[in-house]
Every structure is written in C-alpha cells, then in structure tokens.
C-alpha cells in the first residue's frame, strides 16, 4: 500500500503547473485533494512518474457570484460547496450533491475539479453539472476553452480534457424558479452511488411542468441527461403516476454498468425508482 | 462470596479503553527494533495455477534487499506444519508449508516474501520478481467442484475435490422420521464473510543466532499456534511469543497468521535482522481467511402438535484452497447442535469441498451461526406448515428450566438456563401482539414491517477433544478439556500484578480480571494491573490459553480465581504470624489486613510485601517465601463425555448462555433495502462480572451478525478473482446502518462455574443472522417470499420479491 516512486512538484502558479504538465505529458498526474488518486496509487493501479500537486494554488479555490451564473474554482472542496451560502441559495443542486459525497474526511479534502476530472462513473457531482448545463473551463498551453458538461465525459475514467490541459473552473448557471433535489442509492451511508439522480424542475402555478432537467450518474459509463424522460414530462402535470411512467425509459439506449454492487437489471430498475423519487423530492 | 460482592457485578472504569480510544494503544506496528527490515509478500494473482518457476535473481542482487524467500527456500529451509485436528480426516496426508510450493490455490496465496530497508523499496522490488504460472481452471462452485465434467483437481493427491465426507448420528433419526406426522424440508445457504478487525495481521520476528532464540511479536489470538508453528517449521525449541495490544481478532488471527509468521521469521533468520510485516487491508480481505460458505439440506420430523422429534441435515462446506481447516465449520455445530430444543434424534452429514477461494478459518462463532440458522429457519417453517405461531412452536420444544443440568443428545451438558423465560420476556418487551396489529395496519398503507423472533444458546469454554467425534481413527488426541493458568504477584509496594495465559484482543481482560482478583484479595482494582504485552517467556501455557472458543469466562477467570484464592490464603498466613492472630480471625479490606481487638493490629499489603520479600525473620514456619501464586485451572465438571467414545458423544463446550433476539425491520419493497427499526436481546450470560463489558460484547456481536445478514460478504467471479477487496465493496455496515441494540439481562448463573459466569464474546453473532432472515420473511409475507439464503442485500431482497410476484 505504498505508491511506486514518483517525482513530486508543487507549482506556485497555474502557469508553472501547465508547463510542468506539458513537459511530462505522458507520465504526469495532477494531484488536487487526493481522495481518488492516492488510493489508486497505493494499490499501484495508478503509477504516475510525475505528480503535480496543485493543492497550493489558492487562486483556484473560490465561489464567485455573477449576474446569471456562479463560478466555482476547481479546488473548491465539497465541504465548502455544501456550506456556501451562495451555492445553497443560487445553485442548491450543487450543495445537495456535495453533501452526500463520501464521508466528512473525503468532503473536507476532495475537490469538485479533482472529482470531475477523475471521471469515475460513480461520482455524485456529474449528475448535478449535466442537469445544470454547467460549463467547464480547460486551460492549456494554447489558452483556455469551455466545455459543456454534456460533452465533458468520453468514457469511464476518461474526460475530454487534453493531456496537457487543466480543469480550472466550473461555471454553473443560476436557475431561478426551479426546485432541485439530488438522491442516491448506496449500500452504506458513505458509500459510492449505485444510482444517483439530480433534478431541477420548474412548474407552473397549476402544477404543469414547464421545464425539467434530469442528470443521471453511476448508471452508465458516464453521467448523462435523461432527455427522453424530460421530454415526456414537459407540459405534463407532475403526479406520481405520470412521473413513474415517464421514468420507465430512463435507461433506454444506455449500456448500464455491471459491477459487484448491482446487476444491470437491478441498476436499471433503481434508476427508474430514483428518477421518480428525486423528482417528487424536488417538488415536495 | 455471592451476596456480599462489592466489585464483581459493577461497571468500573475501564483499564484499557482510555488508551485505545485516545489512540495510545501499543500495537505491533508501534514497535521498532534496531536495524529492522520490512517485509512484503509475493502473492498469487491466479486462483489456480501450477508454479513453473520463481525467478528472484534480479531482486536478490539488489543491495537494498536483505532476504528473499521463494517456494524453493520454503521447501529447503522449513518443514510443513503437522496436520491439525481439522485435517485429521484426510484420506492422504498433505504436507502444508507456510507458502505455496507447487501450486497456488487461491488469489492472494503467499509464495514467499522479501525483506528490504523499508516498505517502499520492498514493494518496488516485488514487481521485479518473475513468477511463471501455468494457469489451471478455477473452481468456485462446490457442485461443479464435485460433479463438474471438466473439473480440475485442486489437490491431485486426494483424487477428488470432495476432501472429506462424514456423518454423525445421535438417537434414532430414521425411526423419528418414520413415526413423524409430517416432515418439514428446507434448503438454506450462508455466504462467506469476515470479521474484518480494524488491525490487520502483524508481526515482527527476530532471531538471535548465538542463542538460537527466535522472538516474534505478533497479534495472534492463540500464542500456542504460533509457538507450535515455529517449532514445526524450524525445529527450534527456544521460541518467545510476545503479544501487545490487538486491534480486534474475532477468530481472524488464529489460524492463517501462522503461515505469515513463519515466513517473516525465515526472512529474519536469513537476513540476521529483525523483520516487520504489517498486512494491508486488501491482503487481509484476499488471504487472511474467510468464514465458510455453507449449504444445508434440512429436514425436521414433527408431530401435529408442533413437537420436533428429529432433525437431519446435509451440509456442504466450501472450505477454499486449503485442507487445514477442512471440518472446522462442521464440528463446531456440535457446540449448539440441539440449540435450545429437547429433540433427541439428530443426524448430520458433512461434505467438505475444496475450491479456489480463500481458506476458511475460525470466525465469531464458526459453525454456530449456521447451526442456529438451521434451527431457527426450520422452526419458522414448521410453524408455517402446521399453521401455528412460530413462538408457540419454540415454547413447545424448549428444554425446560427444571430439566437443568440437561444432557443433549450429542453429550453437551447445559449448566443452567430458562429459555421460555427469555423468549417470554423478549416478546413482552417488544409488545409482540401490539406490534402485529401495527404491522397489519401499516401493510394497508403500503409499509412492510417484519418481526423476527429467534433464540440461540451461546456455548462457552472449548473442549479440545471435540473434533475427535468425527475422527474416531485419530491416534493422537488434539488435546482434551481445557487447561489454562494465571499468575498473581503481590508486589513489594502492595500493588498486585496479574499474568494471564491468553492475550487480550479488545474484550477488557485487564479490567475484568482485576475486578475478580480485587474482590477475592480485598483490595481496590485500581492497584491491580494485568500485564500487556502477553509474553510466553513468563505467561502460563495451556490448551485453553487462547483468545478463542469463548474461553475467557471459564478458563482465565477460573485461573484468576484459583490464583487469587491461594494468594489470599498465603497473605492471611503471613499476616496472622506477624499480627499474632489466627488466619481465620483476620479480615481484609482495601488492602489492609486487620485482626480483632486493638486498632493497631493491622498490616497493609505494602507492609506485607516488605515482610514477604525482605524479612525472613517474620516469615511463618513451613511457608515458602514471597507472595506469588500460579494456578492452573481445569474445568471440574468436564466429565462425562470429555473425550468421545464409540457413541461419539462429546462435550463440545462446557457452559451455555442463551439469548432471545427480536428484530423489527422495514423493507422498502421497491428497492429491496432493509432497515432495522428495532433490535432487542434478552440475554443469559450467567453472573455478570462487568455489565458494560458484557454489553459491549453484545453490541459488537449483534452489529456483526446483523451486517452479515444484510449484505456484507465476499464475492468471487467465476475466474476465482475476489471482487470485494476493500471494505466499501465488501459492504461493511457503518454506524449509520447499525441499529441501536436494546439489551436486558436475565441471567441464570451457571451451576458449574465459580461465580456462575458464562460466556459473552460470540453470543449475539450466533442468532442475529437468523433473526434478520426471519424478520425479512415476515415483512414480505404478503408476497409469499421465503428467505433461504444469506446475505439479504437489497438486490437479493428485490429478486425475492420479483420471483414471488405472480
């Protein structure tokens, strides 16, 4: 349980971090909170030759409120997101998902950028960011670019970040008039999601669904929007029977994960159940 | 000593808990020795393969590697272990070395080890060792292992993967089944799990080549196993086993640990340096031992009034890739074979099948949770088939309090107990009838509550001859009865030191033994200390000197009582001589011996210490010097049936507590997730020495048994790869999932033990899996669900509901 030998760098600036990354592009890993990477290194499942510890880059740790969106620095911890008044008020879904990541220690160390870039299919936050249509800022030697949340993931443990790019910021739109909820099914209180569902829903005075966004995590190899369910619900009265009926297609076209926690059949069933439960929880 | 006890029966401030909860315990990993090296193990990535060769040359040549042990070294420099009592039934003797020498038979099996200056270098070097394997098909299913057409043989020498088969019959089951009104049948299954102690296996070995003395500091529960293993392996006679604080054992540190200690010792011998090895969690999960996956084919012969007249069952044990614990889960069913019931005819047919999984080992109750599961599930089935209340079937079949002491068909002698009283009280406490009404009402609202009511005996104090019942051909007994010693020393300053025969792995030995000694000696437990670490150079030996088998209450407490009583007599003789009184006139309180009459006629323990150790002129005549006694306890009621005769009857254990358990659960029928709303135990642990300590044992064992039933466990894929090497994947319950356990004590003091004490260590882990199974089945009654197999993971429960739905 001791990692293989590696070169360790603690860059003092983003520029330095980027140049270190470019110089070691085949063999480097970025270390943020270390909650995903270090366990893999201890099991020697990950053996980076160069570790670039960006934990000291305080300029990447912030929550800024803008006119119609919130900017979150990549090194902001789950605990900071969970506790932030701005996040709770303007982007409650981010706070709701952050609150159930791992245990207290993980939330105190783990960062939103580190978790998102790691691209583990069981991460909680991806459900929220795809539901919110967040945008992710990638910075590389050629400057910066913005990636839409729905395009961020390619496959299990692989994001669309280029090897020489760093994820530095997450821009989350402020949705006014929406109700939100994040719910997950896990074996233990601090366990990984077996299914995680993020919902933002806007209803008219008569209870008709004006808009709904449903983000799914831990179901397929990457987080996704349940667009077919959303389409089936827009314009409909959101009673339990209607939601349940719409939720039935949530895994259509998805290659549902099989692992020690659940067979695909059970996981697909849970996905339907949790879509229904999460929408009802958001509306409650 | 009964009515006027002042310290026994009280919760006193714990002697060990403060250091443990503040992180100040001293565990094996906390020790360092000069020049100490660090070891890592070479382990098999295959479930089943022939070892074609191990090339360690690249590593041996490195200057920072001090010793390497490969299969060739093991064959050349060690001898195999002598077959233990669980392997005595093998058709052919199979030599078992500390590591794999010809084949690997499970993922993680050790083949050898390397020692380096530090752990990091050792792990780097491990990657340079080139082991050539010829992979063989993995056997992961017992039926395939026995009947599969293309099955590979795990031990070619045996000619079959069915390594052992045998039967025991008590009474006349054929007659009982012929005369039965009805026969109730069921097939049941229990999965593989572990007790997952927080501290994994650990060892520091050092060898003094001048005196040929081998010293190991390790966290074994049974020092004798390590001592014997090192003698077997190296032929050395001067061996010292030191056991510091242990971070939990529960059986995990009894058996396979010897392999690792032998290999670490060989590294120490070869390098001439002390060598430390601390197991990783994933190593522990893969290769430190699992409980046994057991399948039961059960039949009960019953009368129409609910009387069970016979029980027979076939048991198939998946014992994993070793033959050294072949029958351990089978023979441990003799301990609670008839549970709380008066049935006279029982037959058991056992099949031990080797597979390419981790070997099975002792584990909190070993075969006893399985035996209790057989009984409590079949009693529920009897009730369903006869349309009776399951509680009534239990009341109908209980051994009654007035029958005590009661001899079971297989020769166990129940010392005391009131099983109807325990169950009655449990039903009252939970308000069973009101709960049934609530259950009906909630079902109407779509909430599915379930009530599980079970009972189990808790055997205590192991008889080492038990295993001979299935091996009548065994020439040498593996030991018989139980022997364990304790030493008490009154120090010069009047304080008292205790030396126990068995190590403490979290059961508060230090506190409890101090209470008993304090009561007998007439001194505050504050001035009594129990030595930790255990040290075989000074501690007494004995076949029962082991932190296992629920032994502590009987053998350690028995030895402490004997030693303290002898010391008290000696103290009185010394004091009588100095105070010019008769010993029987003296009283002792708070460490002061007082003679009648003048208030000046008294002597403190400190003054006595000076007399005993420094002043021969004040010694009474005919008494040897010093105030130190050693007493070896043997159980005075061990006969009859200490050693099995032709009738195979044997006292598997010597004391019998019991507990009635009620589980109230709610099942989310949409997801299959089970929540335990209430868990209640009415227990008979005999006379309680320290209520908090006993409650702590009950909380822990109940939490373990409940978690086992609800989903923690090992999962292998068909290639024999273990998929659950982390505690998260293994599904360990956290505090959030563990229910509050309500405990009421209803002791029936043992008629056979000095204080009336009984065991408490395994207790609640024995009936709790059955309680949860019963409660879940009861909750899902409207769906017609039958619970047969553990664990009840959410997916398993969901599947049961899907399968039952019309």
* pLDDT, tens digit, 9 for 90 and up, residues B136-186: 999 999 999 999 887 899 999 999 999 999 999 999 999 999 999 999 999
- All residues of chain A having their beta carbon less than 8 Å from the beta carbon of residue B799 are 266
Instruction: Tell me which residue has tokens 């402490």.
Output: B560
* pLDDT, tens digit, 9 for 90 and up, residues B419-470: 999 999 999 999 999 999 999 999 999 999 999 999 999 999 999 899 999 8
| A2 to chain B, closest Cα gap in Å | 6
Residue B2 has a pLDDT of 54
| Other Cβ atoms closer than 10 A to B179 | 12
Instruction: Tell me which residue has tokens 């990636």.
Output: A147
For residues B374 and B770, the answer to whether their CB atoms sit within 8 Å is no
Give helix B794-804 / helix A264-283 axis angle, nearest 10°: 100
Distance, in Å, from the CA atom of B295 to the CA atom of B145, rounded to the nearest integer, reads 14
Q: How far apart are the first and last CA of chain A?
A: 46
Is the Cβ of B723 closer than 8 Å to some Cβ of chain A?
yes
CB contact under 8 A, B281 and A1: yes
Handedness of CA B149, B151, B152, B156 (dihedral sign): negative
Query: In whole angstroms, how far apart are CA B785 and each of A113, B164, B709, B772, B780?
Result: 46, 35, 16, 14, 6
Per DSSP, what are the bridge partners of residue B483? B634
- All residues of chain A having their beta carbon less than 8 Å from the beta carbon of residue B795 are 262-263, 266
* DSSP 8-state code for residue B525: G
- Give A119's pLDDT tier (boundaries 50, 70, 90): very high
Of B123, B724, B736, the CB nearest to A189: B736
CB contact under 8 A, B729 and A273: no
Of B280, B711, B728, the CB nearest to A192: B728
- All residues of chain B having their beta carbon less than 8 Å from the beta carbon of residue A188 are 728, 731-734, 736-737
Pairing of strands B293-302, B308-320: antiparallel
Of B120, B723, B734, the CB nearest to A189: B734
Number of DSSP helices (H) and strands (E) in chain B, helices first: 21, 29
CB contact under 8 A, A1 and B798: no
List, in order, residues 6 or more apart from B314 with CB less than 8 Å away: B296, B297, B349, B350, B351
CA nearest neighbour of A279 among A203, A188, A217, A172: A203
Of B123, B715, B795, the CB nearest to A266: B795
Q: Which residue of A has its CA nearest to B731?
A: A187
Is the Cβ of A45 closer than 8 Å to some Cβ of chain B?
no
* pLDDT, tens digit, 9 for 90 and up, residues A61-90: 999 999 999 999 999 999 999 999 999 999
List, in order, residues 6 or more apart from A251 with CB less than 8 Å away: A219, A220, A267, A268, A271, A272
Q: Which residue of B has its CA nearest to A47?
A: B124
CA atoms within 13 A on the CB side of B363: 25
* DSSP 8-state code for residue B250: T
Q: Is the peptide bond before B405 cis (omega within 30 degrees of 0)?
A: yes
Per DSSP, what are the bridge partners of residue B406? B414
- All residues of chain B having their beta carbon less than 8 Å from the beta carbon of residue A192 are 728
SS3 label, residue B673? coil
CB contact under 8 A, A1 and B723: no
- All residues of chain A having their beta carbon less than 8 Å from the beta carbon of residue B794 are 185, 187
Distance, in Å, from the CA atom of B180 to the CA atom of B498, rounded to the nearest integer, reads 56
Residue B150 has a pLDDT of 78
* pLDDT, tens digit, 9 for 90 and up, residues B473-521: 666 677 899 999 999 999 999 999 999 999 999 899 999 999 999 999 9
- All residues of chain B having their beta carbon less than 8 Å from the beta carbon of residue A191 are 728
Chain B interface disruption, residue of A100, A104, A188, most B CBs within 10 A = A188
* pLDDT, tens digit, 9 for 90 and up, residues A11-57: 999 999 999 999 999 999 999 999 999 999 999 999 999 999 999 99
Interface of B with A in 242-301 (CB under 8 A): 280-282
Distance, in Å, from the CA atom of A19 to the CA atom of A140, rounded to the nearest integer, reads 9
Is the Cβ of B506 closer than 8 Å to some Cβ of chain A?
no
Distance of CA B99 to the CA centre of its chain: 24
Distance, in Å, from the CA atom of A202 to the CA atom of A234, rounded to the nearest integer, reads 10
CB contact under 8 A, B124 and A4: yes
Is the Cβ of B52 closer than 8 Å to some Cβ of chain A?
no
CB contact under 8 A, A189 and B120: no
- All residues of chain A having their beta carbon less than 8 Å from the beta carbon of residue B127 are 4, 44
- All residues of chain B having their beta carbon less than 8 Å from the beta carbon of residue A269 are 798
* DSSP 8-state code for residue B160: S
CB contact under 8 A, A260 and B724: yes
Of A5, A43, A273, the CB nearest to B124: A5
Distance, in Å, from the CA atom of B465 to the CA atom of B453, rounded to the nearest integer, reads 34
- All residues of chain A having their beta carbon less than 8 Å from the beta carbon of residue B791 are none
| Residue numbers in chain B where pLDDT is lower than 50 | 1
Q: Which residue of A has its CA nearest to B724?
A: A260
Interface of A with B in 169-198 (CB under 8 A): 185, 187-192
Radius of gyration of chain B measured on its C-alpha atoms: 27
- All residues of chain A having their beta carbon less than 8 Å from the beta carbon of residue B796 are none
For residues B197 and B254, the answer to whether their CB atoms sit within 8 Å is no
CB contact under 8 A, B729 and A2: no
Distance, in Å, from the CA atom of B710 to the CA atom of B779, rounded to the nearest integer, reads 14
- All residues of chain A having their beta carbon less than 8 Å from the beta carbon of residue B728 are 187-188, 191-192
List, in order, residues 6 or more apart from B57 with CB less than 8 Å away: none
Q: Which residue of A has its CA nearest to B711?
A: A187
Residue B1 has a pLDDT of 47
Residue B82 has a pLDDT of 87
Taking phi over 0 as left and psi of -120 to 50 as alpha, with beta for the rest, B31 belongs to beta
Q: Which residue of A has its CA nearest to B118?
A: A2
* DSSP 8-state code for residue A208: B
A:B CB pairs within 8 Å: 51
Is the Cβ of A106 closer than 8 Å to some Cβ of chain B?
no
Which own/partner contact pairs does A64-72 have at CB distance under 8 Å and 24+ positions apart? A65/A90, A68/A173, A68/A174, A69/A171, A69/A172, A69/A173, A69/A174, A70/A171, A70/A172, A70/A174, A71/A169, A71/A170, A71/A171, A71/A172, A72/A112, A72/A169, A72/A170, A72/A171, A72/A172
Residue B532 has a pLDDT of 80
Distance, in Å, from the CA atom of A180 to the CA atom of A199, rounded to the nearest integer, reads 5
Chain A interface disruption, residue of B121, B727, B795, B800, most A CBs within 10 A = B795
Query: In whole angstroms, how far apart are CA A165 and each of A8, A110, A151, B800?
Result: 18, 20, 16, 49
Q: Which residue of B has its CA nearest to A102?
A: B728
Distance of CA B550 to the CA centre of its chain: 7
| A236 to chain B, closest Cα gap in Å | 24
* DSSP 8-state code for residue B321: S
Query: In whole angstroms, how far apart are CA B30 and each of A25, B23, B37, B218, B271?
Result: 40, 11, 14, 11, 22
| B672 to chain A, closest Cα gap in Å | 10
- All residues of chain A having their beta carbon less than 8 Å from the beta carbon of residue B125 are none
| B719 to chain A, closest Cα gap in Å | 14
Encoding tokens for residue B738? 């563990």
Interface of A with B in 231-250 (CB under 8 A): none
- All residues of chain A having their beta carbon less than 8 Å from the beta carbon of residue B123 are 2, 4, 44
SS3 label, residue B448? strand
Is the Cβ of B598 closer than 8 Å to some Cβ of chain A?
no
Distance, in Å, from the CA atom of B543 to the CA atom of B653, rounded to the nearest integer, reads 14
Q: Which residue of B has its CA nearest to A271?
A: B671
* pLDDT, tens digit, 9 for 90 and up, residues B724-776: 999 999 999 989 999 999 999 999 999 999 999 999 999 899 999 999 999 99
- All residues of chain A having their beta carbon less than 8 Å from the beta carbon of residue B732 are 188
For residues B500 and B556, the answer to whether their CB atoms sit within 8 Å is yes
CB contact under 8 A, A188 and B734: yes
Is the Cβ of B734 closer than 8 Å to some Cβ of chain A?
yes
CB contact under 8 A, B728 and A262: no
CB contact under 8 A, A263 and B737: no
Per DSSP, what are the bridge partners of residue B276? B38, B204
């Amino acid at each position: 349980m001791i990692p293989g030998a590696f070169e360790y760098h603690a860059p003092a600036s983003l520029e330095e971090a980027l140049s270190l990354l470019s110089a070691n592009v085949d063999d480097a890993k970025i270390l943020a909170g270390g909650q995903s990477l270090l366990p893999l290194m201890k099991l020697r499942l990950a053996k980076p030759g160069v570790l670039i510890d960006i934990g000291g880059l305080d300029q990447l740790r912030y929550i800024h409120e803008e006119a119609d969106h919130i900017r979150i620095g990549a090194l902001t911890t789950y605990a900071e997101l969970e506790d932030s008044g701005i996040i709770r008020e303007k982007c409650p879904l981010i706070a709701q998902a952050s609150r159930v990541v791992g245990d207290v220690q993980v939330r105190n160390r783990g960062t939103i950028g580190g978790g998102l870039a790691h691209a583990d299919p069981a991460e909680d936050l991806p459900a929220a960011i795809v539901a919110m249509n967040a945008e992710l800022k990638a910075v590389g030697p050629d400057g910066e670019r913005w990636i839409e949340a729905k395009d961020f993931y390619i496959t299990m443990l692989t994001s669309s970040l280029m090897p020489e790019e760093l994820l530095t910021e997450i821009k989350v739109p402020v949705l006014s008039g929406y109700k939100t909820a994040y719910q997950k099914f896990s074996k233990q209180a601090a366990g990984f999601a077996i299914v995680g569902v993020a919902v933002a829903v806007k209803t008219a005075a008569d209870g008709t669904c004006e808009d709904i966004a449903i983000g799914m995590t831990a179901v397929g190899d990457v987080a996704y929007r349940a667009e077919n369910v959303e389409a089936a619900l827009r314009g409909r009265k959101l009673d339990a029977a209607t939601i349940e009926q719409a939720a039935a297609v949530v895994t259509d076209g998805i290659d549902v994960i099989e692992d020690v926690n659940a067979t695909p059949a059970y996981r697909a069933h849970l996905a339907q159940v949790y879509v229904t439960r999460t929408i009802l929880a958001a509306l409650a | 000593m009964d009515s006027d006890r002042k310290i026994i029966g009280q919760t006193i401030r714990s002697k060990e808990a403060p250091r443990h909860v503040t992180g100040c315990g001293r565990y094996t990993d906390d020790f360092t020795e000069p020049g100490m090296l660090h070891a890592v193990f070479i382990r098999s990535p295959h479930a089943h393969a022939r070892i074609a060769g191990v090339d360690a040359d690249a590593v041996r040549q490195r200057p920072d590697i001090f010793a390497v042990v490969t299969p060739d070294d093991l064959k050349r420099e060690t001898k195999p272990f002598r077959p233990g009592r669980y392997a005595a039934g093998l058709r052919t003797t199979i030599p078992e070395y500390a590591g794999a020498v010809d084949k690997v038979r499970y993922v993680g099996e050790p083949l050898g080890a390397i020692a380096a200056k530090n752990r990091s270098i050792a792990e780097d070097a491990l990657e340079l060792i080139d082991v050539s394997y010829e992979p063989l098909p993995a056997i992961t299913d017992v039926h395939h292992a026995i009947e599969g057409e293309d099955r590979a043989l795990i031990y070619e020498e045996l000619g079959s993967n069915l390594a052992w088969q045998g039967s025991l019959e008590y009474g006349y089951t054929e007659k009982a089944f012929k005369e039965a009104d009805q026969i109730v049948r069921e097939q049941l299954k229990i999965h593989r799990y572990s007790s997952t102690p927080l501290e994994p296996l650990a060892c520091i070995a050092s060898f003094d080549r001048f005196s040929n003395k081998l010293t190991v500091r390790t966290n074994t529960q049974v020092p004798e196993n390590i001592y014997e293993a090192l003698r077997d392996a190296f032929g050395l006679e001067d061996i010292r086993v030191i056991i510091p604080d242990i971070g939990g054992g529960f059986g995990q540190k009894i058996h396979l640990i010897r392999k690792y200690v032998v290999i670490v010792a060989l590294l120490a011998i070869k390098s001439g340096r002390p060598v430390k090895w601390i197991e990783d969690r994933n190593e522990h999960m893969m290769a430190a031992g699992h409980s046994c996956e057991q399948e039961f084919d059960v039949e009960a012969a019953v009368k129409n009034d609910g009387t069970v007249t016979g029980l027979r069952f076939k048991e198939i044990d998946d014992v994993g890739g070793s033959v050294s614990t072949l029958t351990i889960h089978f023979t441990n069913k003799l301990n609670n074979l008839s549970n709380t019931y008066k049935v006279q005819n029982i037959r058991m047919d056992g099949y031990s099948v080797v597979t390419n999984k981790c070997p099975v080992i002792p584990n909190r109750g070993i075969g006893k949770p399985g035996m209790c599961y057989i009984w409590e599930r079949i009693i529920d089935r009897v009730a369903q088939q006869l349309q009776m209340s399951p509680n009534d079937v239990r009341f109908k079949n209980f051994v009654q309090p007035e029958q005590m002491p009661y001899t079971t068909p297989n020769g166990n002698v129940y010392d005391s107990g009131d099983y109807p009283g325990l169950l009655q009280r449990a039903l009252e406490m939970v308000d069973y009838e009101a709960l049934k009404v609530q259950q009906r009402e909630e079902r109407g609202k779509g909430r599915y509550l379930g009530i599980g009511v079970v009972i189990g005996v808790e055997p205590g104090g192991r008889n080492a001859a038990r295993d001979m019942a299935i091996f009548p051909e065994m020439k040498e007994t593996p030991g018989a009865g139980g022997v364990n010693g304790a030493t008490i020393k009154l120090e010069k300053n009047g304080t008292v030191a205790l030396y126990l025969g068995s190590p403490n792995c979290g059961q508060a030995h230090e506190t409890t033994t101090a209470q008993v000694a304090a009561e007998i000696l007439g001194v505050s437990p504050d001035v009594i200390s129990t030595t930790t670490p255990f040290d075989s150079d000074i501690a007494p030996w004995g076949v029962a000197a082991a932190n296992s088998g629920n032994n502590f209450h009987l053998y350690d407490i028995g030895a402490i009582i004997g030693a303290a009583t002898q010391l008290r007599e000696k103290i009185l003789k010394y004091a009588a001589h100095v105070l010019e009184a008769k010993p029987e006139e003296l009283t002792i309180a708070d460490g002061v011996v007082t003679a009648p009459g003048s208030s000046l006629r008294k002597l403190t323990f400190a003054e006595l210490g000076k007399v005993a150790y420094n002043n021969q002129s004040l010694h009474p005549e005919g008494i040897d010097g010093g105030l130190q006694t050693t007493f070896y306890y043997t159980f005075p009621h061990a006969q009859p049936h200490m050693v099995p005769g032709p009738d195979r009857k044997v006292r598997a254990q010597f004391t019998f507590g019991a507990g009635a358990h009620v589980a109230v659960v709610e099942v989310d029928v949409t997801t299959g997730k089970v929540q335990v709303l209430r868990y209640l135990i009415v227990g008979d642990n005999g006379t309680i020495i320290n209520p908090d300590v006993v409650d702590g044992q009950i909380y822990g064992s109940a939490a373990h048994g409940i978690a086992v039933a609800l989903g923690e466990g090992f999962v292998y894929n068909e290639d024999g790869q273990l998929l659950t090497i982390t505690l998260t994947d293994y599904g360990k319950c956290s505090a959030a999932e563990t229910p509050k356990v309500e405990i009421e004590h209803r002791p029936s003091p043992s008629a056979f033990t000095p204080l009336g004490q009984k065991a408490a260590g395994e207790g609640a882990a024995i009936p709790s899996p059955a309680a949860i199974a019963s409660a879940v089945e009861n909750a899902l009654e409207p769906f017609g669900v039958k619970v047969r197999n553990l664990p009840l993971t959410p997916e398993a429960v969901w599947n049961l509901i899907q399968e039952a739905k019309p």
